[in-house]
Structure 1
Amino acid sequence: MKHSAQGAAGPGAGTAAAAVRIPVQPSAADAARSLSRDRSQSRDASQDRGRTRGAGEPDGSARGEHTHGEPPAPGPFVPGPSVPGPSVPGPSAPRPRALVQRSSVRGQVLDALRAALVTGELRPGEVYSAPVLGERFGVSATPVREAMQQLALEGAVEVVPNRGFRVVERGDRELAELAEVRALLEAPVWLRLARTVPAERWAELRPLAEATVRAASSGCPAGYAEADRAFHRAVLALAGNEELVRIAGDVHRRSQWPPAGAPAARGRADLVADAHEHTALLDALIAGDPDVVRALIGQHFTGALRDSWALGL
């Protein structure tokens, strides 16, 4: 969706600005009379507001309401070819601020680009421009550029001056190293949690484990990747270490990007097998069987080391 930017004053703004004159400055006596009159009007207006407002009710400025003129922000919209344009709310509907809307669009574009990375739709080594991707998503180039800059910070793409963003080419060695880092970060935490977390807390994670199975059964790699990260994030959160959750989640996401020359996506059977490891692990953790838990954790993360493209582990 392309939006044309035009000043609020319209095409005649330049002529009007040229005709503006400096007003005659008032004398000191006139200024004093004006100040006295303004104070009197202010007291009268304050008394009127006190009579109109209920006891204890704050005025508009205390509620955070803006009493000066502010241009209305456009309503939210979902980018994509299936949405022809912005959904404008009715007069009685709340109108979100433009900053919130742009942040929402940027987030949706970022999610779409991350999914395209997982599926291989954004191919390693290829250069993509923000305007072209913006046309594809039905948005301007700005939220696409902002999303791409976030992906650059994450190491998924790199900036190519005057051209766009190139998807980083990953080799098998780099992904094997990421899988090893994941194993070093997560496996010891899982083993420690297996000894300290009660069965009822593990049972609360059942919906997330089952969600990975449903996502795998759908055969959508991007959907499975998201569900997989959600399950692992919930397990690590039990340790109460936010930095661990953040760092492990970043490594996990990076390990889901395919290397150059790899198939576009893993098959449904592989995704389902990975997902069932989650439910088997959860069953053993709820049952409190340390030997089975240790074996399954070793299998889960050793499998990531064997596979240079560990999409769902």
Structure 2
Amino acid sequence: MGHLKQRDLNATRERLRDQVAHALRAALISGELRPGVVYSAPTLAEDFGISATPVREAMLDLAREGLVEPVRNKGFRVTEVDERDLDQYTEIRALIEVPSVGRVARSATRDELEALRPVAEEIVRAARDHDLIGYLEADRRFHLSLLSLTGNERLVETVGDLRKRSRLYGLAALDERGELIPSAEEHLELLDLMLAGDAKGAEKCMARHLGHVRSLWAKSESKG
């Protein structure tokens, strides 16, 4: 019985850690947590009204994602992403995702592709509703689910890691200017091309989409 109680407590703590991590990602997107600034777990915990342990665990989760970095005896510094980083992340994603969508367009079944439509529509809906966390989550699911149709799990993991390190950048500013919506709608365009069996068109659309995202980042930086 004691073991069961302990397991329940651990599950509750894990859910709390996930909730805190979710809130911290939202704060990163909104700019409330600023790049280069060090934040301590006890201070953040006081803001949340909880103990420092789940906050520290959540920050360690974000550190594994490359969003923050531990600072000895001080806390965690929000990772700064520079233009060179963004260029390199985008280049690697293009090298992987552009040929991958062509491959999937040639091999996936119609049912497999149609299963992605609700997620693509969710991306557009979140962009229109200014739901940045919802946008990020739906966008992540669409891209990684699409890549999973290649059957290469390591490829999916690699792109997932690159997205974690870059996708938060400038999102709030882009949303304020309404520039997330055209980018969101490109997911539906990509899906329609793949369903039509246009592998080359899908590759061009993905290349344009990734370039579009990168140009929006650059615009956000220049206006930031």
TM-score by length of 1: 0.64
Which residue among 193, 209, 215 is the counterpart of 1:300? Answer: 209
Paired residues of 1:213 and 1:272 also in contact (CA < 8 A): yes
Aligned residue for 1:97, secondary structure, equals: helix
The aligned residue for residue 56 of structure 1 is none
The aligned residue for residue 194 of structure 2 is 285
Q: Does 1:117 align with 2:28?
A: yes
The aligned residue for residue 104 of structure 2 is 193
Percent identical among aligned pairs is: 45
Paired residues of 1:212 and 1:228 also in contact (CA < 8 A): yes
Q: Distance in 2 between matches of 1:263 and 1:236?
A: 23
2:101 alignment partner AA: W
Could you report, residue by residue, the CA deviation over 1:253-308 in whole angstroms, capped at 9, with x for unpaired residues?
Answer: 211132xxx68531252111111000111111112233432331221123244444
Q: Does 1:233 align with 2:141?
A: no
Which residue among 183, 188, 191 is the counterpart of 1:274? Answer: 183
Is the alpha carbon distance of 1:148 and 1:204 closer, same or farther for their aligned partners in structure 2, counting shifts above 3 Å? same
2:195 alignment partner AA: I
Could you report, residue by residue, the CA deviation over 1:198-255 in whole angstroms, capped at 9, with x for unpaired residues?
Answer: 2222111111110001110111323211111111111011111221111111101211
Paired residues of 1:221 and 1:266 also in contact (CA < 8 A): no
Give the unaligned 5+ runs of structure 1: 1-65, 75-95
Paired residues of 1:120 and 1:265 also in contact (CA < 8 A): no
Pairs within 5 Å for 1:1-313: 66=1, 70=2, 73=5, 97-258=8-169, 264-267=172-175, 269-308=178-217
Is the alpha carbon distance of 1:72 and 1:138 closer, same or farther for their aligned partners in structure 2, counting shifts above 3 Å? farther
Q: Distance in 2 between matches of 1:249 and 1:295?
A: 21
Paired residues of 1:199 and 1:287 also in contact (CA < 8 A): no
1:72 Cα offset (Å): 8.6
Is the alpha carbon distance of 1:202 and 1:264 closer, same or farther for their aligned partners in structure 2, counting shifts above 3 Å? closer
Q: Distance in 1 between matches of 2:27 and 2:147?
A: 26
TM-score by length of 2: 0.88
Two-structure CA RMSD over aligned residues (Å) = 2.4
Deviates more, 1:284-293 or 1:119-128: 284-293
Higher relative contact order (CA 8 A, sep 6+): 2
Q: Distance in 2 between matches of 1:177 and 1:291?
A: 24
Aligned residue for 2:173, secondary structure, equals: coil
- Count of residue pairs the alignment pairs up: 219
Aligned residue for 2:70, secondary structure, equals: strand
Deviates more, 1:273-282 or 1:111-120: 111-120
Is the alpha carbon distance of 1:263 and 1:214 closer, same or farther for their aligned partners in structure 2, counting shifts above 3 Å? closer
Is the alpha carbon distance of 1:294 and 1:159 closer, same or farther for their aligned partners in structure 2, counting shifts above 3 Å? closer
